[in-house]
Amino acid sequence: MTGTDRSTGSSTAQSSDTTTAIASATVQVAHTAHPGTAEPVPAFLDLHPTPADLVRLVRDGLRSQPKQLPAWLLYDQEGSRLFERICEQPEYSLTRTETALLRREAGAIAAALGPGVVLVEFGAGNARKVGPLLQALQPQAYAALDISREHLAQACAALRPAYPATPVLGICCDYSAMDTLPLHPWLQGRRVGFYPGSSIGNFSPADAETLLRQFARLLGRDGQLLIGIDQPKAVTRLEAAYNDAAGYSAAFALNLLHRLNRDLDGDFNPEAFRYRARWQAEHSRIEMALVSKRHQTVHLQGEPWSFNQEEALISEYSVKYNREAFVALAARAGWQARRHWADPDGDLGLHWLVQAD
């Protein structure tokens, strides 16, 4: 959507809980030789929040008023599949616009960033947008972070033969709950974060500021950030983007209830909820929610949760920033805007940020 995104986002509901998960995380799915050594190093790290973390996050979210869950819960394997369909819909132009912009400007971006970079993508999804950057920048390594484990593993597997000279590290995690990046030889060097899709819009402005500070910590003192930001635009366009006629946006949100049923032994009846996406001008955001069609009580792991008729469970925000507003937000988080690339219609901007002294 030309104006749209729907990436990540945890909300206030998550915090130190998932850090615990990271500390206790296990698993490596693949091994690859580190270039220049015979020593195998993991090419995939699984730091997904634990089931206990999930329970805590969902309980916190359902207790909040209004009820709201972290946006990353939308992305199980089916959620990731549905998100890809959304990106193909005629109403949702964000992906096409940002992809074209990256293709057009990859050379200029690579020249600006310079050589010898470790590229770290937050919320990589299918990792297709990064292609032109990998081509032009030839980073010393690329790390793709995403919460959707199987989808991420497939994305990394597809990328490796296409860019054989670039070590590709997949990290399944909630990046909003990470204090540091894992110790890994491929992550050593000058890090540049890549955060496309206007995914920062999933966070409230206050949480977005916190996230940008956290990215600074994850990327290190000389870390830089390339971030895609969707601009506010005509309300009809914005609302159409999140209400595609084919119904993928609705299916994507309703899949959250299927996920809760599966992962938390729930008894949500998705038919008893309808999807709603509406522009809230006072917050410059699209709010996406599942609205209860009637008064009802649902259970998760045997625990009852009541919904009044017309009560909303907010599944996601998509906050839109014009250039000045985003530069001001970034500055509050200690980032300085260095350069900006935009599509010809001014729908979306790519901001290159460096850390202020």
Ligand X SMILES: C[S@@+](CC[C@H](N)C(=O)[O-])C[C@H]1O[C@@H](n2cnc3c(N)ncnc32)[C@H](O)[C@@H]1O
Task: Give the residue with the Cβ less far from ligand X, 93 or 176.
Answer: 176
Alpha carbon distance 210, 231 (integer Å): 21
Q: What's the closest the beta carbon of residue 171 comes to ligand X, in angstroms?
A: 9
Angle at CA of residue 201, ends 244 and 329, nearest 5°: 150
Residues linked to residue 307 through DSSP beta bridges, in sequence order: 296
Q: Which is nearer to ligand X, 76 or 335 (CB)?
A: 76
- Tell me whether residue 210 or residue 296 sits nearer to ligand X (CB atom): 210
The distance of closest approach from Cβ of residue 174 to ligand X in the complex, given in angstroms and rounded to an integer, is 4
Q: For the chain, what percentages of helix, strand and coil (3-state, to nearest 5) are there? A: 40, 25, 35
Q: Shortest approach of ligand X to residue 335 CB, angstroms?
A: 19
Q: Which is nearer to ligand X, 124 or 337 (CB)?
A: 124
Cα angle value 234/239/242 (rounded, 5°): 135
- Residue closer to ligand X by CB (options 298, 348) is 348
Nearer to ligand X, 199 or 315 (CB): 199
Q: How far apart are CA 152 and CA 80, in angstroms?
A: 9
Instruction: Supply the minimum distance, in Å, between the C-beta of residue 340 and ligand X.
Output: 18
Residue closer to ligand X (CB basis): 242 or 305: 242
**Which of 10/249 has CB closer to ligand X?**
10
Q: Are 144 and 119 in contact (CB under 8 A)?
A: no
- We find the least distance from the C-beta atom of residue 322 to ligand X, in angstroms, to be 20
Q: Which residues of the shown chain bind ligand X in the complex (CB under 6 A)?
A: 5-10, 71-72, 75, 80, 83, 95, 123-125, 129, 145-148, 173-176, 196-197, 199
Quick check: 351 and 337 in contact, CB under 8 A?
A: yes
Q: Nearest-CA neighbor of 214 among 179, 190, 172?
A: 179
Residue 242 near residue 277 (C-beta atoms within 8 A): yes
CB of 296 to ligand X, least distance (A): 28
Cα distance between residue 234 and residue 89, in whole Å: 18
Quote the CA–CA distance of 148 and 299 in Å, as a whole number: 25
For the range 261-269, what are the long-range contacts, defined as Cβ-Cβ under 8 Å and sequence gap of 24 or more?
262/76, 263/51, 263/54, 263/76, 264/54, 264/55, 264/58, 264/300, 264/301, 265/300, 265/301, 265/302, 266/298, 266/299, 266/300, 266/301, 267/298, 267/299, 268/298, 269/296, 269/298
Residue with smaller CB distance to ligand X, 147 or 286 = 147
CB of 295 to ligand X, least distance (A): 32
For the bound state, the minimum distance from the C-beta of residue 287 to ligand X, rounded and expressed in Å, comes to 16
